[in-house]
């Protein structure tokens, strides 16, 4: 059971400043958020053709992905403001409230090679947040519900890319692509080049591998377990 009083949306403050060589606190979780691979291919083609309008459109779509992720995150993330117990049926009982949470984005244009752009974000989320006054204390983040909603994070980020790009260039997209799991661009005709540029993941991280959560992989695991996708 979730109990909500007062504000219903969490606020975000910076977790650490990588520009000043700061490191995040122990227990920090990294959400690794990719964009459709054809977005990177579009950017690379636009650079080769010196099409600054398309270069800007691709960067805007990448930023829109993160901004949509963050909006969804602040609406859904809660603090565990009391010990969590479980019913015999497995439902969680606790006091889950919004608060101030700590997030730092580190975006990279390339991953693994510099042949084509592979826009992605390392989103570092601090393990505790601060409940509003008069409590004002630190409480752990409800990571269980982040895990449960990871396909929602992936979906809002992905549709933000499409929405943003559509404002600048006529586009057509695939359904969830069988290889990438993302909706990919078929007009401009870029999805046909996906096999030439396989997925690469960026290893540049400031947290141990056990604390790195790959959003697309978690989304795909959840899809595979869903009866709707199993019967498809």
* Positions in the binding site for Zn ion (CB under 5 A): 108, 202, 204
Q: Of 192 and 204, which CB lies nearer to Zn ion in the complex structure? A: 204
Instruction: Kindly give, in sequence order, each residue whose CB lies less than 8 Å from that of residue 181, ignoring residues fewer than 6 positions away.
Output: 216, 219, 220, 223
Partnered with residue 32 across adjacent β-strands are 122, 214
- Residue pair 223/229 in contact (Cβ under 8 Å)? The answer is yes
Q: By beta-carbon distance, which residue lies closest to Zn ion?
A: 202
Question: Nearest CA to 106 among 93, 85, 120?
Answer: 120
Query: Least Å distance between CB 121 and Zn ion?
Result: 8
Query: Least Å distance between CB 130 and Zn ion?
Result: 28
Q: Of 69 and 139, which CB lies nearer to Zn ion in the complex structure? A: 69
Query: Least Å distance between CB 212 and Zn ion?
Result: 11
* 212 CB burial (10 A radius; 0-12, 13-18, 19+): middle
Q: Of 95 and 215, which CB lies nearer to Zn ion in the complex structure? A: 215
Query: Least Å distance between CB 77 and Zn ion?
Result: 23
Query: Least Å distance between CB 122 and Zn ion?
Result: 5
| Euclidean distance between CA atoms 142 and 79, whole angstroms | 5
Q: Of 84 and 206, which CB lies nearer to Zn ion in the complex structure? A: 206
Q: Of 53 and 204, which CB lies nearer to Zn ion in the complex structure? A: 204
Query: Least Å distance between CB 222 and Zn ion?
Result: 23
Q: Of 15 and 81, which CB lies nearer to Zn ion in the complex structure? A: 15
Query: Least Å distance between CB 204 and Zn ion?
Result: 5
Sign of the Cα torsion 100, 152, 93, 211 reads: negative
Q: Of 108 and 114, which CB lies nearer to Zn ion in the complex structure? A: 108
């Amino acid at each position: 059971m979730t109990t909500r009083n007062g504000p219903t949306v969490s606020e975000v403050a910076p977790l650490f400043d990588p520009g000043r060589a700061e490191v995040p606190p122990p227990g920090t979780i990294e959400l690794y958020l990719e964009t459709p691979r054809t977005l990177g291919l579009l950017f690379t083609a636009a650079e080769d053709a010196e099409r600054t309008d398309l270069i800007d459109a691709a960067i805007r779509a990448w930023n829109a992905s993160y901004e949509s992720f963050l909006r969804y995150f602040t609406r859904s993330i809660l603090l565990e403001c009391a010990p969590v117990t479980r019913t015999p049926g497995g439902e969680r009982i606790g006091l889950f409230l919004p608060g101030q949470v700590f997030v730092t984005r580190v975006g990279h244009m390339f991953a693994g090679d510099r042949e084509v752009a592979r826009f992605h974000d390392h989103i570092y989320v601090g393990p505790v947040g601060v409940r509003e006054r008069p409590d004002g204390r630190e409480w752990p983040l409800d990571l269980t519900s982040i895990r449960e909603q990871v396909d929602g994070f992936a979906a809002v980020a992905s549709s933000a890319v499409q929405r943003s790009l559509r404002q600048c260039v006529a586009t057509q997209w695939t359904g969830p692509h069988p290889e990438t799991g993302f909706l990919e661009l078929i007009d401009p005709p870029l999805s046909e080049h996906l096999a030439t540029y396989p997925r690469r993941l960026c290893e540049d991280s400031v947290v141990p591998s056990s604390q790195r959560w790959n959003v697309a992989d978690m989304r795909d695991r959840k899809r595979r377990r869903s009866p709707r996708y199993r019967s498809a």
